[in-house]
Amino acid sequence: MVDKQSNYNFISLGQAVVKIEQQALSLLVSKINHDFAKACELLLACEGRIVVIGMGKSGHIGNKIAATLASTGSPAFFVHPGEASHGDLGMITDKDVVLALSNSGETNEITTLLPVIKRLSVPLISLTGNPNSSLATFADVNLDTGVEKEACPMNLAPTASTTTALVMGDALAVALLETKGFTENDFALSHPGGSLGRRLLLKVEDIMHTGEQVPVVSENTSVSDTLIEMTNKRLGMTCIINDESSLCGIFTDGDLRRTLAKNLDLNSTAIKDVMTLKGKTIEGEKLAVEAINLMEENAITSLVIVDKNNRPIGALNMYDLLKAGVV
């Protein structure tokens, strides 16, 4: 029995799809014109939210466009057109802008809503593959996302057309964020649970060890007693302070190895004689990512956090940053 799959060249079939969609996107570039600029102006002037609607595959794309807009500084949400005609249209206010997706421009669930949208006097932007469709001609501005053919060999399944609609939505979102001056910090505020959010929002003081967790000894403490403090606190280092409680040095696992190599008496040798003077420090209000950079630049794995008087108030190591998801 011959395996039917052997009759197909999956690689060439996949490449053919990509080429068709690439061609569709190449044609889309010329469609970023004055209509696109007008759509951006309407969205930029929106005092409420951008309400995205779409049915079927266009609905899935619309959902993603709404999410992208919302995460890049343009408040937006998706409304299913079928639900909209049964009450959800009440979500739209006169300060909103409606962004409607339909490749044919004749999707019944959407065209049914057009008179109501008109009555609300809200701007309507359409993304259609047919500039002469009911939706396109009714809209304040239409963005042409039409394609010459779908990647589907029967030219039926939405493939290239959904790709162009998605990219047009991305183009709108990015154009708006650039115009608004949307920054990485703004992005982090809407993504606090993501890695970028943690890198841009988490501060050293949020994850540092404080109080009794911080290993600290005076400069006259013996090396052996210092090792006990290091062992108890388990940060791989300890802070060395002077009579004014200011940081005068640190003692790390690396310092210990160098001390042992000198064959010194650990009970009689004062820690001030073998410590690293001063050491690398950082302030608590600094971003955790700055702590990482400081560690990497100096090839170290721990830092002391000091106040304005150079007094140690905390400590952290690379493991703390890994645990917090910053690295």
Summarize pLDDT for 129-167 with one digit per residue, the tens.
Answer: 999 999 999 999 999 999 999 998 888 888 999 999 999
Q: Clarify whether residues 212 and 306 are in a common domain.
A: yes
Model confidence at 38, pLDDT cuts 50, 70, 90, reads very high
Q: Clarify whether residues 235 and 115 are in a common domain.
A: no
Of 25, 66, 33, the C-alpha closest to 141 is 33
Final residue before a domain boundary, out of 135, 150, 182:
182
What was the pLDDT predicted at 152?
A: 87
Q: Clarify whether residues 79 and 148 are in a common domain.
A: yes
Does 235 map to a domain? yes
Q: How many structural domains is the chain composed of?
A: 2
Give yes or no for a contact between 66 and 49, defined as CB atoms under 8 angstroms apart: no
Q: Clarify whether residues 146 and 251 are in a common domain.
A: no
Does 2 map to a domain? no
Does 302 map to a domain? yes
Q: Clarify whether residues 174 and 208 are in a common domain.
A: no
- Looking at per-residue pLDDT, the higher value among 139 and 81 belongs to 139
User: What range defines the domain where residue 218 resides?
Assistant: 204-323
Average pLDDT over residues 32-50: 95
What was the pLDDT predicted at 2?
A: 47
Q: DSSP character for 89?
A: G
Distance of CA 120 to the CA centre of its chain: 35
Q: Clarify whether residues 30 and 145 are in a common domain.
A: yes
Share of the chain above pLDDT 70, in %: 89
Model confidence at 1, pLDDT cuts 50, 70, 90, reads very low
Collapsing DSSP to helix, strand or coil, 50 comes out as strand
What was the pLDDT predicted at 290?
A: 86
Does 119 map to a domain? yes
Give yes or no for a contact between 217 and 225, defined as CB atoms under 8 angstroms apart: yes
Share of the chain above pLDDT 90, in %: 58
Q: Locate all alpha helices (DSSP H) within the chain, ordered by sequence.
A: 10-29, 34-44, 57-71, 81-84, 108-111, 114-120, 134-138, 160-180, 184-189, 195-201, 204-207, 223-233, 253-261, 288-298, 318-323
- Whether the per-residue pLDDT at 49 is higher than 90: the answer is yes
Final residue before a domain boundary, out of 152, 182, 212:
182
144: left (phi over 0), alpha (psi -120 to 50) or beta: beta
Final residue before a domain boundary, out of 182, 216, 247:
182
Residue 119 sits in a domain whose CATH number is 3.40.50.10490
112 backbone dihedrals φ, ψ, rounded to 5°: -65, -30
Distance CA 326, CA 201 (A): 10
What was the pLDDT predicted at 279?
A: 84
Does 38 map to a domain? yes
What was the pLDDT predicted at 200?
A: 62
Collapsing DSSP to helix, strand or coil, 250 comes out as strand
- Whether the per-residue pLDDT at 116 is higher than 50: the answer is yes
99 backbone dihedrals φ, ψ, rounded to 5°: -120, 110
Q: Clarify whether residues 27 and 175 are in a common domain.
A: yes
Does 209 map to a domain? yes
- Looking at per-residue pLDDT, the higher value among 2 and 185 belongs to 185
Q: Clarify whether residues 140 and 38 are in a common domain.
A: yes
Give yes or no for a contact between 241 and 219, defined as CB atoms under 8 angstroms apart: yes
Q: In 10 A of CB 34, how many CB atoms? A: 8
- Looking at per-residue pLDDT, the higher value among 155 and 59 belongs to 59
What was the pLDDT predicted at 207?
A: 87
pLDDT, tens digit, 9 for 90 and up, residues 202-232: 788 888 999 999 999 999 999 999 999 999 9
Q: Clarify whether residues 99 and 227 are in a common domain.
A: no
What was the pLDDT predicted at 253?
A: 87
Q: Clarify whether residues 142 and 274 are in a common domain.
A: no
Average pLDDT over residues 62-84: 89
Q: Clarify whether residues 273 and 164 are in a common domain.
A: no
Strands 302-306 and 237-241: unpaired
Model confidence at 128, pLDDT cuts 50, 70, 90, reads very high
Does 170 map to a domain? yes
Model confidence at 48, pLDDT cuts 50, 70, 90, reads very high
What was the pLDDT predicted at 8?
A: 66
Average predicted confidence (pLDDT) for the chain: 88
pTM: predicted TM-score of the whole model, two decimal places = 0.63
Q: Clarify whether residues 167 and 239 are in a common domain.
A: no
Residue 273 sits in a domain whose CATH number is 3.10.580.10
Does 193 map to a domain? no
